[in-house]
Structure formats: structure tokens, C-alpha cells
Amino acid sequence: MEKLIEILEDIQPDADYENCTTLIDDGILESFAILSIVGELEDEFDISITPAEIIPENFNSAAALWAMVQRLQNE
């Protein structure tokens, strides 16, 4: 999780990743940032993220992102 927060802050600073649960709904993360995050997560956690995974439910919070990473690691 710490590594994830580090990636998020590197790509898109100025957001409260610990508490925010509306990263997509409030437009904090936009498409360029989302794809940068996807690229970093794929490299860092050795997972493959498909377009089907890019939905607000998976990207609205750091916790949701972390849950997606763990799920994809187990698949």
C-alpha cells in the first residue's frame, strides 16, 4: 500500500490519497493520470490491467486501487 501511495503521489501530487474516495468522481484523476498509474502498477506489481478494469469503482480511492492490485496478483 505504501508503494502504491508513493506511485500516486509521484504521478499526481496534491491529493489526499489516504482519505479521498472520489478520485474519479471529482475529476482528481483524469485519463492521462489513470493510464500513467496503470503503467506503473503493471511494472511494479507484475500484473496486467485490461480496459475492463478501468472503472470508477477501481480508481476512486487508494484502497480500491490496492484491492484491484491484490485481486489481479491472485488471478
Stretch that binds another protein, among 16-24, 32-40, 60-68 (CB under 8 A): 32-40
Q: Does 35 bind another protein (CB under 8 A)?
A: yes
Q: Which of 3, 55, 67, 73 touches another protein (CB under 8 A)?
A: 55
Using alpha carbons, list the distances in angstroms from residue 65 to 33, 36. 13, 13
Q: How far is Cα 45 from Cα 72, in angstroms, rounded to an integer?
A: 9
Pick 5 or 54: Cβ nearer another protein: 54
Q: Does 38 bind another protein (CB under 8 A)?
A: yes
Q: What is the largest CA-CA distance in the chain?
A: 33
